């Protein structure tokens, strides 16, 4: 009851009234455990007023375990020990991140010295950022590049410096790959035994053997790489590469390439 009073900011009398009304409407779903001195779920309990996505709930538990501010964290009564992968932290400059975010919001043009993996030294570029994107490891600025005259991604940690150089002339609506999507159709690797295929279908939340992922076209390359779908399905054993891309020709055409 104390949790209900705290989260909902109601009196003890109101909390008692609400709990009793719930028990009257849904017998055997909730009962008072005298030894624990608290209300606990009954064997017949099922949610009636809201549904919580288990994956979303686990993400919240992981965020709380890391000490991150989490929406509705007050509803989390029990917290098990949680481990996550140890990954290197990108070397982000607070000043550069702040400058890029301000440019996105205020529609500013930036001059940056950018070290790409295709050049030996950093190159001066003018960009007009309008959004940020995360590929699961690195942060990117989605921006119009005045040198290449195209919208593209710039890794924040590869920006040596960033200074304002005027207002943007491009508009986000012109960034078609940011606005447009493609639906990836994924299924379990056909060479897996039936039992293993079924487990993969559960792992990826498939319906009738298919999972559909709606992806922004500008994030397509990163999605394919993250899922191991950027190479031929037979490159790795089915037990290592659990899924295949059913519409590979369509997806790789967006990247201007033939499916591997």
HEC assignment per residue over 11-32:
CHHHHHHHHHHHHHHCCCCEEE
189-242 pLDDT tens trace? 999 999 999 999 999 999 999 999 999 999 999 999 999 999 998 899 999 999
Contact 92, 157 (CB under 8 A): yes
163-178 pLDDT tens trace? 999 999 999 999 999 9
Q: Which residues contact 16 (CB under 8 A, 6 or more apart)?
A: 1
CA atoms of 129 and 172, how far apart (whole Å): 9
Per the DSSP assignment, residues forming a β-bridge with 187 are 244
CA atoms of 234 and 244, how far apart (whole Å): 10
DSSP string, 197-237: HHHHHHHTT-BTTBEEEEEEGGGHHHHHHHTT-SS-GGGS-
End-to-end CA distance of the chain, in Å?
Answer: 58
CA separation (Å) from 120 to 55, 143, 147? 43, 22, 18
49-87 pLDDT tens trace? 777 778 877 888 888 787 777 665 556 666 788 888 888
CA atoms of 244 and 202, how far apart (whole Å): 15
- What's the predicted TM-score (pTM) here? 0.78
At residue 22, φ and ψ (nearest 5 deg) are: -65, -45
């Amino acid at each position: 009851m104390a949790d209900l009073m705290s989260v909902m900011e109601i009196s003890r009398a109101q909390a008692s009234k609400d709990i009793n009304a719930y028990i009257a409407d849904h017998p055997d779903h909730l009962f008072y455990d005298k030894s624990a001195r608290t209300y606990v779920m009954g064997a017949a309990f099922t949610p009636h007023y809201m549904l919580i996505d288990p994956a979303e709930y686990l993400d919240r538990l992981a965020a709380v375990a890391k000490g991150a501010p989490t929406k509705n964290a007050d509803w989390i009564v029990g917290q098990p020990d949680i481990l996550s992968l140890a990954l290197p932290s990108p070397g982000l400059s607070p000043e550069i991140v702040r400058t890029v975010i301000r440019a996105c919001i205020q529609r500013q043009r930036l001059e940056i010295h950018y070290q790409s993996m295709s050049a030996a030294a950093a190159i001066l570029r003018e960009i007009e950022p309008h959004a940020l994107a995360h590929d699961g490891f690195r942060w990117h600025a989605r921006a119009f590049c005045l040198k290449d005259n195209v919208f593209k991604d710039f890794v924040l940690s590869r920006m040596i410096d960033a200074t304002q150089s005027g207002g943007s002339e491009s508009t986000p609506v012109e960034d078609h790959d940011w606005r447009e999507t493609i639906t990836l159709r994924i299924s379990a690797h056909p060479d897996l035994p039936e039992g293993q295929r079924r487990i993969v279908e559960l792992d990826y939340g498939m319906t009738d053997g298919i999972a559909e992922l709606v992806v922004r076209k500008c994030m397509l390359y990163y999605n394919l790489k993250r899922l191991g779908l950027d190479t031929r399905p037979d490159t790795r054993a089915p037990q290592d590469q659990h899924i295949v891309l059913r519409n590979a020709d369509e997806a790789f055409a967006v990247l201007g390439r033939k499916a591997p």
